[in-house]
Structure 1
């Protein structure tokens, strides 16, 4: 039943949006309804620009400080989703989008997602100072957690098919 939730939601959401358009159109008129839809799209674009730049700045600061930018990355994704919900026509999606622009709601979303996400970073991938959650390299992580990551240097790896012939796609690789 859990796997049917998202498809059912995608089927019911447009119907709910159409019903909301009819209700709002009856109450305030067609012209005002169209203006509200246009205003929400403009507000979504403006809020994406203003809050999105702020989140990008926070991600950069967290990376430079060597801390884990996962929280800021999730906030950034939620802001982009909120902006798209405001830009697409519909009052229900506008309400959800406006709620996602509120930092407290995004923090609730982060606390919900935090336990369901696994973020693995390495110091080499993050720059000179880097950031990491726990271990500092993929080889250490694979040794301790049993994950199927094998870290090889260039001289320890060659592309052959097992019979001594090189990979036909070898010429396409950058050297």
Structure 2
């Protein structure tokens, strides 16, 4: 199913590049593709840092940063699209880097797919052995535990 999509996308990119090249010239087309890559790199850095700060703020406030993390995934994919030569991928990549379009896309995606995402999760019994202690509690179970250090010394060095 993905192969025909990649073939159609590649042929569409080539068609658009050739059409734009015929209109404004090959040199200007190449220059325009390079300029969009630089603009995309700048926006990728700016939006990536902004989203990282959002994730950190949400985590610091005890909130679930899942929406912000999904934004990070969209930003990463958009950056890859912007670095790929072509005007169609550049347009889609720029849409992914714009905060308003990214929020709209993610909100509509989550509204349509939340049931699929959460109903497909499976929960299984843990294989935890209770004799090994509580996996979330790293405190020693025995109050008589002694903490210490050791080191090995080479006997040959001591005999000299």
After superposition, the Cα gap between the structure-2 partners of 1:146 and 1:75, relative to the gap in structure 1 and judged at 3 Å, is closer
For residues 68 and 17 of structure 1, the distance between their equivalents in structure 2, rounded to whole angstroms, comes to: 39
RMSD between aligned residues: 2.1
TM-score, structure 1 length as denominator?
0.66
Structure 2 unaligned blocks of 5 or more:
134-160
Quickly say closer, same or farther: Cα 1:22–1:146, change in 2 above 3 A.
closer
The aligned residue for residue 147 of structure 1 is 123
The answer to whether the 8 Å contact 1:44/1:84 transfers is no
For residues 76-155 of structure 1, the aligned pairs below 5 Å read: 76-114=72-110, 115=114, 116-118=116-118, 147-150=123-126, 152=128, 155=131
Instruction: Report SS of the residue matched to 1:152.
Output: coil
Partner of 2:140: none
Q: Specify the structure having the higher radius of gyration (Cα).
A: 2
Per-residue CA deviation, residues 126-145 of structure 1 (Å, 9 max, x unaligned), is xxxxxxxxxxxxxxxxxxx9
1:46 to 21, 42, 48: 42
Deviation at 1:151, TM superposition (A): 6.2
**Runs of 4+ with deviation above 6 angstroms:** none
How many angstroms apart in 2 are the aligned matches of 1:73 and 1:102? 16
TM-score by length of 2: 0.72
Q: Equivalent residue for 1:71?
A: 67
Find the aligned partners of 2:38 and 2:117 in 1 and give their Cα distance.
33
Equivalent residue, structure 2, for 1:32: 28
